Structure 1
Amino acid sequence: MLEKRPSVRDRSGRQIGVKAALILLITISLLPYVLMVVTSFKTNEQFASSFWGIELPLHFENYGRAWNQVAPYLWNTIFIAAITIVLVLIVSSIAGFVLARYRFRGRNFIYGLVLLMMMIPGIANLIPLFVMMRDLGLLNTYTVLVIPYVTGGVVLGTVLFRNFVEGVPQSIFDAARVDGATDFRMYISIMLPLSRPVLGTIALMTVTTVWNDFFWPLLVLSDDSLRTVSVGLQFFQGQNATEVGPLMAGYFIASLPLVILFGFLSKYFLAGVQGGMPGSH
């Protein structure tokens, strides 16, 4: 017997149900963020009298107070994240390109070691890494943050970039080699432009790791002028525990760069997950 195909009405009903579920999920996910923004304009009295609603007048001075305390931590984090992203993209793209397109003895063994490093939990490296950084005299420097972030990002970045490069047709590289392109030229002019999705994915994952890391900066930095935003917000919270307005304003300011960056890189991230270029699906 022939199976009855779903009617247009049935498919439309399913789509409505799926869209309604997604809208509900997005609303629930954004609710704490919206509440944080609304609270950032309140005084303690307004917050006590109206937890959810908007109270007038709006106290924009909360953002001035929050910015004065959060800005140094924010610039530290942006500086460290920028250096980390550049180094991770350079090293992981070169390593992934070489491991995917060149045949040499020990290639699979090297890639196996890279995969093995992904299986080692970060907490297992904490004490040896701290002792090594202390012996090298790198505590209370930017370097003590950049080195672990770069090494951790390169491992995952190499795996993602290698898998992406292996999906690019070999005929493209063969045609470029016939035209006289060198290995460096193929990497710069062919591979990097094609790799924008995976590069965006790696960059977004790297900056998220740097931005959200709390324990390592807390452990290796005692100089307040070097602290990142995640640790700085903890001290800011201690100073403003009784003033919810400036505290929520500080959290909003700290989250804003990451939100903006995700907005710019989201199309590349989604394309990287799907395995293609932005707009190709």
Structure 2
Amino acid sequence: MLTTSLKDNQQFAASYWLPAFPLRFDNYAVAWQQIAPYLLASLIVAAGSIVFIIAISLLSGFVLARYRFVGRNFFFMMIAALMMIPGIASLIPLFVMVRDLGLINTYIVLMIPHVAGGVVLGTILMKTFIEGIPQSLFDAAQIDGAGGVRLFRSIMLPLSLPVIGTVGLITINGVWNDFFWPLLTVTENELRTASVGLLFFQSQAGVNYGPMFAGYLLASVPLLLLFTFLSKYFLAGVQGGLPGSH
């Protein structure tokens, strides 16, 4: 990908694997001009999905982990059972639903599958993580007069940042790599996400490989940076602990 991003089509045909000179750094300018709106759309969809997923799964995970009520285990089993339903099984009814609601060609339609799927995994991760927080912290706060809202805001929320980061990274990765749903539900160019927008480097005259691969590389950079600098929080959230505690 890196070597091809610095070639024109003639260099690509003559030297498939090895670098070719002169290096075509102008491919990145061409790629950025075309991919920038798609990256912005991906960021908007990712940010919106993360807000909804974390808000819902954090509350549900907290309630399932710290409150005792009739049917708690049943509700959690039903949530976990949703993990076994393949996304392709709901594709047609979901498309019919968003079409009838008039949501085609909106950011909302791009967020719906990520929120629906992310809340399930997010609730499971949140509940598992919150159960690992010592109960003595909550008991001490309750003795001092803290209610449910104060427990959530002052104790659970700050300690849950690792798993929040984990859910956020998983969501961003899903949004960035999602291809078929945006291709199916979005026809307006300004709403296309990066994975779909890169497809339009192909034209009737052929494929301009240098700018296309430069676009792939630019689209990969945000995820590479996030996972490089936030990997310890991601692992801590999956393992159920705070960064540096293992």
TM-score (normalised: structure 1) = 0.83
* 48, 73, 77: which one aligns with 2:38: 73
Do the aligned residues in 2 keep the contact of 1:218 with 1:231 (CA within 8 Å)?
Answer: yes
Asked whether the equivalents of residues 240 and 246 of structure 1 are also in contact (C-alpha less than 8 Å), the reply is no
**With CA pairs under 8 Å and 6+ residues apart, which has the higher RCO, 1 or 2?**
2
Letter in 2 for 1:106: G
- Percent identity, please: 61
What do the CA deviations read for 1:218-275 (whole angstroms, capped 9, x no partner)?
A: 1111112211111111122346843221111011111111111222321111112332
User: In structure 2, what is the equivalent of residue 192 of structure 1?
Assistant: 157
Instruction: Tell me the equivalent position of 2:71.
Output: 106
Q: Residue 183 and residue 239 in structure 1: after superposition, are their counterparts in 2 closer, same or farther (change >3 A)? A: farther
CA 1:66–1:183 in structure 2 vs 1: closer, same or farther (change >3 Å)?
Answer: same
Q: What residue is the counterpart of 1:201 in the other structure?
A: 166
Note if contact 1:240-1:247 (Cα within 8 Å) is conserved in structure 2. no
Q: Secondary structure at the match of 1:40?
A: helix
Give the structure 2 partner of residue 8 of structure 1. Answer: none
Show CA shifts across 1:40-73 (max 9, x none): 1122233334333333332211011111111111
One-letter identity of the residue aligned with 1:99: L
1:153 aligns with 2:92: no
Residue of structure 2 in register with 1:275 after alignment: 240
Unaligned runs of 5+ in 2: none
Q: Which among 211, 227, 237 is matched to residue 176 of structure 2?
A: 211
* SS of corresponding position for 2:69: coil
Output the amino acid matched with 2:39.
L
TM-score (norm 2): 0.94
Match of 1:130 among 86, 91, 95: 95
Count of aligned pairs between the two proteins: 246
State whether structure 2 residue 18 is matched by structure 1 residue 53: yes
User: CA offsets, 1:199-233, max 9 Å, x none?
Assistant: 11111111111111111111111112211111111
Q: Deviations over 1:162-203 (max 9, x none)?
A: 011111121110011112222112112211221122111111
Whether 1:224 and 2:189 are equivalent positions in the alignment is yes
CA RMSD across the alignment: 1.6
User: Does residue 168 of structure 1 match 2:133?
Assistant: yes
- Residue 264 of structure 1 aligns with an amino acid whose one-letter code is F
Unaligned runs of 5+ in 1: 1-35
After superposing the two structures, state which structure 1 stretch, 137-146 or 44-53, moved more: 44-53
Question: Are the aligned partners of 1:66 and 1:250 in contact in 2 as well (CA < 8 Å)?
Answer: yes
